[in-house]
Amino acid sequence: MEEIIEQLQISFDIQSGIRRGYIKTELWGSTTGGSPWSLHLDKNQKLRKITINHEDWIYSIGFTIENLKGLLDSSRREGGTGPLAGRNVSEVNFDIDEEIIGIDVTVVVTTGYYPNHEVISSVCLMTNKKKHGPFGKETDTRFSARWDVGSFEGFFGRAAFYLDGLGCYLTDTVT
């Protein structure tokens, strides 16, 4: 039900001009683990920081968003609900004119305390200025996507104890 309400809100926002049409990349990692989440930036919002809690895989990912008035909201964090949070916390701070133009993701099957879950093991972000990462431990199972400056609109995925799946929203140039 929550996903239906979110899709109705997105449709309303597109029709009213708050949001552009969008497409989704593939969902990398698990398509069934954890619960779905979504961070879709409105036209008047800017992603200013990403906080990644990691070790051998990504435990959680957090977002700081700036609104039109310049106020920052750091309330979004996905994953990391289990007792074993990673020991490494990395922050990616974006310049005002810096935009994400690509992502590299690797996945792994967990071992140890919560074994046999497909999760995101590393994330590397490319911007129009530089490369951030990789964060986590890279594996051989790699996924990549690149796009034009101004096309990035947010992230979606699945999360619970870890970051189970990750994908990106991009501007639909057809609409």
Where do the structural domains in the chain lie, given as residue ranges? 22-171
Dihedral (CA of 101, 2, 80, 112) sign: negative
Dihedral (CA of 47, 75, 40, 124) sign: positive
Please choose, from the candidates 43, 23, 25, the residue with its C-alpha nearest in 3D space to the C-alpha of residue 146. Answer: 25
Which tens digit of pLDDT belongs to each residue from 66-86?
Answer: 999 999 999 779 998 766 666
Judged by average pLDDT, the poorest of 70-79, 117-126, 143-152 is 70-79
CATH number of 22-171: 2.100.10.30
E strand residue ranges, the chain? 22-24, 28-29, 35-40, 46-54, 58-66, 72-79, 88-93, 100-109, 118-127, 131-136, 142-146, 152-159, 163-171
How much is the average pLDDT of 108-134? 94
pTM of the model: 0.84
Please choose, from the candidates 43, 53, 48, 23, the residue with its C-alpha nearest in 3D space to the C-alpha of residue 127. Answer: 48
How much is the average pLDDT of 107-130? 93
Residue 37: CB atoms within 10 A of its CB come to: 20
**pLDDT value of position 113:** 79
